[in-house]
């Protein structure tokens, strides 16, 4: 199929500052022709094409399973049926870097240029015995911009984290994604409106010029229970909210559905007042239900014109049976701000939170490893002068090559968890091997943490330690600006030899994306289309980089 020009209503909406709605489509499991799922997609996409309020179809990528209909193919079908450019979610899970690039190239060749680039959640049933690889979202954003600098790249951020390390890591990685070229952000789904507000205020305090969309979910009772039990990675549904939803479910199907739509509509109204640029509504897969939700939100918007009106209505809708207001986060959860908006542009860098610090043991290990690394691998070090010719000579003979690899593994695996990736990234990640993250992420965490614990539930998220060390050594800004490339073609080779022979990819420090004062930012997300257009162009266009070493 040749590239076709599709009207990019999603881009137009973001650039014009008009509130964006899209219709979600989660590709079916591929069985036979997958005709049933495709029929549904075509039918709904046609309705989206005729509805000026809806920007396009947003299409998930291998949600919860790997054997689903192809997202790019579904995108082409949605584009043809609606005449509107869809938004493709492209996940790095179970994709090596070169495979992820091929998917982007295929989408681009079909004229599909709206992407939401994510790492993806845990692969529950790996297709083979090999370790499942995950291509990082930060690198995917760079890949997309290399293939087509004009593409519209979105990235995910989750404000729904309640411990310092996991929350700070989300915001640090968010800025890295903007620095890497993300044009706009989409949140994880959540119900904690104070956290939605925190993200907007954080953006304003950092003077970041980037539109943000919220992801909202309308869960049936079973889902609500399962999310509350922690079965949807990184998504928090509090005990109080579950109690309210359970109570609503006892009022009968029709009333339960009415109250569920009303909650979603109330969230939409609140988010509009905060300055969100639109919503992704997860779990709403028909045009009819989406249109109905928009109508309910419009009616509520008329009745609740101010933030104070909205807050009162939200609180009233979330009273527990004993008239206590529901809590949406954990009782001792961390919020960066109180009820008051912080001063505009009050900090240029990540605000240092008075809280956790690295332990003496964590710091000592980092110092020792850093000293060894510099002594052996700095270009002008004695270690490099002695070892480089010896290692290079050894590496030229197969026996020597194997011996070097085994030696490296024997030394580094017990200390660091080394998996002989051939491109040692530890100096850029506070000497914590990214291979000890089950997804192998070097550029910051996924959003699957819960209470600081990894999505895989078997360890503390490795990026927490990195954060504590960077904070204690005043290097937090590195976590926003240093982009560590993917490992390609070096696995099972000696990183020592690769380093001496300059065979590893360059690690870059990306200069900060252009920032603006918060006044123009506020304008950018309300009425001034031209300002948004400039903002969208500015982010991504003003990225320049220097090699770190
Ligand atoms: S260690 Fe952190 S980034 Fe890695 S999979 Fe676990 S939660 Fe995600």
Q: How many helical (H) and strand (E) elements, i.e. helices and strands, does the chain have?
A: 20, 11
Whether 446 is in the pocket of ligand 1, judged by its Cβ within 6 Å, is: yes
Distance 309 CA to ligand 1 centre (A): 40
Going by pLDDT thresholds of 50, 70 and 90, the confidence category of residue 64 is confident
Q: Which residues pair with 114 in a beta bridge?
A: 152
CA–CA separation, 457 vs 426, rounded Å? 23
Of 271-275, 384-388, 466-470, 514-518, minimum mean pLDDT range: 514-518
Other beta carbons within 10 Å of 382: 10
pLDDT, one tens digit per residue, over 130-151 is 999 999 999 999 999 999 999 9
Nearest-CA residue for ligand 1 atom 2 is 461
CB contact at 8 A, 234 and 188: yes
Predicted pLDDT at 353 = 87
Q: Which atom of ligand 1 is nearest to the CA of 444?
A: 3
Distances from the Cα of 532 to the Cα of 23, 178, 211, 523, angstroms: 23, 15, 8, 8
DSSP code for 421: -
Predicted pLDDT at 36 = 78
DSSP code for 493: S
Whether 449 is in the pocket of ligand 1, judged by its Cβ within 6 Å, is: yes
3-class DSSP state for residue 461?
A: coil
3-class DSSP state for residue 434?
A: helix
Residue 93, token pair as written in the block = 């899970």
The residue count for the chain = 549
**Structure-model confidence comparison of residues 2 and 451, the more confident one:** 451
Give the chain's domains with CATH numbers.
9-317 (3.20.20.220), 360-502 (no CATH)
* 267-289 average pLDDT score: 96
Of 76-80, 215-219, 340-344, 536-540, minimum mean pLDDT range: 536-540
DSSP result, 33-45:
T-HHHHHHHHHHH
Whether 282 is in the pocket of ligand 1, judged by its Cβ within 6 Å, is: no
Residue of 158, 172, 437 with the most ligand 1 atoms within 8 Å of its CB, for mutation = 437
Residue (of 217, 212, 210) closest to 234 by Cα position: 217
Predicted pLDDT at 305 = 97
DSSP code for 399: H
Is the confidence at residue 461, as pLDDT, over 60? Answer: yes
Residue 209, token pair as written in the block = 């010029």
CA–CA separation, 154 vs 540, rounded Å? 11
Predicted pLDDT at 522 = 27
Is the confidence at residue 327, as pLDDT, over 90? Answer: yes
**Structure-model confidence comparison of residues 129 and 86, the more confident one:** 86
Predicted pLDDT at 5 = 77
Predicted pLDDT at 342 = 79
Q: Which atom of ligand 1 is nearest to the CA of 462?
A: 1
3-class DSSP state for residue 88?
A: strand
CB contact at 8 A, 167 and 336: yes
Of 34-48, 146-160, 266-280, 281-295, minimum mean pLDDT range: 34-48
* 232-252 average pLDDT score: 97
3-class DSSP state for residue 534?
A: helix
**Structure-model confidence comparison of residues 9 and 346, the more confident one:** 9
Other beta carbons within 10 Å of 319: 13
Is the confidence at residue 352, as pLDDT, over 70? Answer: yes
Residue (of 84, 57, 523, 51) closest to 294 by Cα position: 51
CB contact at 8 A, 186 and 545: no
Residue of 135, 440, 446, 450 with the most ligand 1 atoms within 8 Å of its CB, for mutation = 446
Predicted pLDDT at 534 = 30
- 3-state SS record for 105-133: HHHHHCCCCEEEEECCCCCCCCCCCCCCC
Is the confidence at residue 55, as pLDDT, over 70? Answer: yes
Whether 450 is in the pocket of ligand 1, judged by its Cβ within 6 Å, is: no
* 92-104 average pLDDT score: 97
Residue 50, token pair as written in the block = 């005729």
Predicted pLDDT at 255 = 98
CA–CA separation, 352 vs 479, rounded Å? 13
Q: Which atom of ligand 1 is nearest to the CA of 439?
A: 5
Residue 183, token pair as written in the block = 């044009």
Whether 484 is in the pocket of ligand 1, judged by its Cβ within 6 Å, is: no
CB contact at 8 A, 479 and 470: yes
Q: Which atom of ligand 1 is nearest to the CA of 456?
A: 6
CA–CA separation, 164 vs 156, rounded Å? 19
Q: What are the backbone angles phi and psi of residue 56, rounded to the nearest 5°?
A: 165, -175
Whether 532 is in the pocket of ligand 1, judged by its Cβ within 6 Å, is: no
Nearest-CA residue for ligand 1 atom 7 is 454
Is the confidence at residue 521, as pLDDT, over 60? Answer: no
Rg value, the chain, Cα? 24
Is the confidence at residue 311, as pLDDT, over 70? Answer: yes
Distance 462 CA to ligand 1 centre (A): 6
Nearest-CA residue for ligand 1 atom 4 is 437
Is the confidence at residue 518, as pLDDT, over 70? Answer: no
Going by pLDDT thresholds of 50, 70 and 90, the confidence category of residue 30 is confident
pLDDT, one tens digit per residue, over 160-198 is 999 999 999 999 999 999 999 999 999 999 999 999 999
Predicted pLDDT at 348 = 80
Tokens 């690394």 -> residue? 373
Strand order in the sheet with 545-547: 482-483, 508-510, 545-547
Distance 457 CA to ligand 1 centre (A): 9
Whether 347 is in the pocket of ligand 1, judged by its Cβ within 6 Å, is: no
Going by pLDDT thresholds of 50, 70 and 90, the confidence category of residue 512 is low
Of 160-164, 340-344, 454-458, minimum mean pLDDT range: 340-344
Is the confidence at residue 281, as pLDDT, over 90? Answer: yes
- 3-state SS record for 351-398: CCCCCCCCCHHHHHHHHHHHHHHHHHHCCCCHHHHHHHHHHHHHHCCH
Going by pLDDT thresholds of 50, 70 and 90, the confidence category of residue 375 is very high
Whether 14 is in the pocket of ligand 1, judged by its Cβ within 6 Å, is: no
Whether 170 is in the pocket of ligand 1, judged by its Cβ within 6 Å, is: no
Mean pLDDT of the chain: 90
CA–CA separation, 59 vs 211, rounded Å? 20
Q: What are the backbone angles phi and psi of residue 328, rounded to the nearest 5°?
A: -105, -10
* 17-40 average pLDDT score: 86
Going by pLDDT thresholds of 50, 70 and 90, the confidence category of residue 34 is low
Cα 411 versus chain centre, distance: 34
Other beta carbons within 10 Å of 106: 15
* 516-526 average pLDDT score: 29
User: H or E stretch including 21?
Assistant: strand 20-25
């Amino acid at each position: 199929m040749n590239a076709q020009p599709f009207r990019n209503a999603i881009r137009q909406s973001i650039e014009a500052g008009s509130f964006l709605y899209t219709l979600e489509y989660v590709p079916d499991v591929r069985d036979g022709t997958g005709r049933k799922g495709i029929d549904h997609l075509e039918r709904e996409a046609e309705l989206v094409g005729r509805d000026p309020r809806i920007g396009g179809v947003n299409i998930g990528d291998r949600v919860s399973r790997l054997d689903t209909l192809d997202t790019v193919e579904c995108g082409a079908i949605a584009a043809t049926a609606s005449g509107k450019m869809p938004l493709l979610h492209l996940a790095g899970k179970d994709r090596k870097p070169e495979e992820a690039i091929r998917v982007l190239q295929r989408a681009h060749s079909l004229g599909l240029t709206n992407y939401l680039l994510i790492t993806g959640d845990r692969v529950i049933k790996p297709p083979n015995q090999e370790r499942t690889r995950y291509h990082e979202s930060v690198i995917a954003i760079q890949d997309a911009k290399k293939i087509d600098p004009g593409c519209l790249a979105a990235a995910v951020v989750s404000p729904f984290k309640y411990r310092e390390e996991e929350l700070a890591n989300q915001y640090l990685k968010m800025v890295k994604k903007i620095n890497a070229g993300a044009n706009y952000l989409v949140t994880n789904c959540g119900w904690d409106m104070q956290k939605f507000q925190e993200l907007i205020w954080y953006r304003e305090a950092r003077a970041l010029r980037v539109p943000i969309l919220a992801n909202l979910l309308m869960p049936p009772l079973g889902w609500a229970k399962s999310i509350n039990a922690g079965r949807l990675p990184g998504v928090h549904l509090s005990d109080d909210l579950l109690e309210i939803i359970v109570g609503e479910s006892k009022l009968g199907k029709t009333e339960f559905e009415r109250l569920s739509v009303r909650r979603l509509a109330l969230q939409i109204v609140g988010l509009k007042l905060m300055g969100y640029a639109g919503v992704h509504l997860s779990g709403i897969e028909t045009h009819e239900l989406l249109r109905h939700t928009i109508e309910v939100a419009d009616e509520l918007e008329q009745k609740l014109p101010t933030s104070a009106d909205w807050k009162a209505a939200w609180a009233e809708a979330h009273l527990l049976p004993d008239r206590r207001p529901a809590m949406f986060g954990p009782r001792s959860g961390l919020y960066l701000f109180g009820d008051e908006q912080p001063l505009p542009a009050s900090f240029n860098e990540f605000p240092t939170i008075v809280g956790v610090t690295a332990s003496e043991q964590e710091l000592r290990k980092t110092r020792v490893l850093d000293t060894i690394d510099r002594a052996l691998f700095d270009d002008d070090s004695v270690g490099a002068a002695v070892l480089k010719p010896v290692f290079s000579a050894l590496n030229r003979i197969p026996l020597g090559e194997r011996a070097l690899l085994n030696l490296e593994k024997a030394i580094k695996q017990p200390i660091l968890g080394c998996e002989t990736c051939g491109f040692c990234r530890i100096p850029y990640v506070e000497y914590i091997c990214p291979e000890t993250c089950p997804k192998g992420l070097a550029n910051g965490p996924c959003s699957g943490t819960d209470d600081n614990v990894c999505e895989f539930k078997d360890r503390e998220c490795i990026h927490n330690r990195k954060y504590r060390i960077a904070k204690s050594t005043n290097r937090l800004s590195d976590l926003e600006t240093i982009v560590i490339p993917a490992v390609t073609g070096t696995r099972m080779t000696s990183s020592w030899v690769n380093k001496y022979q300059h065979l590893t990819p360059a690690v870059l420090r990306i200069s900060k994306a252009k920032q603006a004062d918060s006044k123009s930012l506020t304008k950018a997300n309300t009425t001034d289309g031209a300002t948004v257009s400039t903002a969208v162009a500015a982010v991504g266009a003003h990225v320049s980089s220097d090699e770190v070493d």
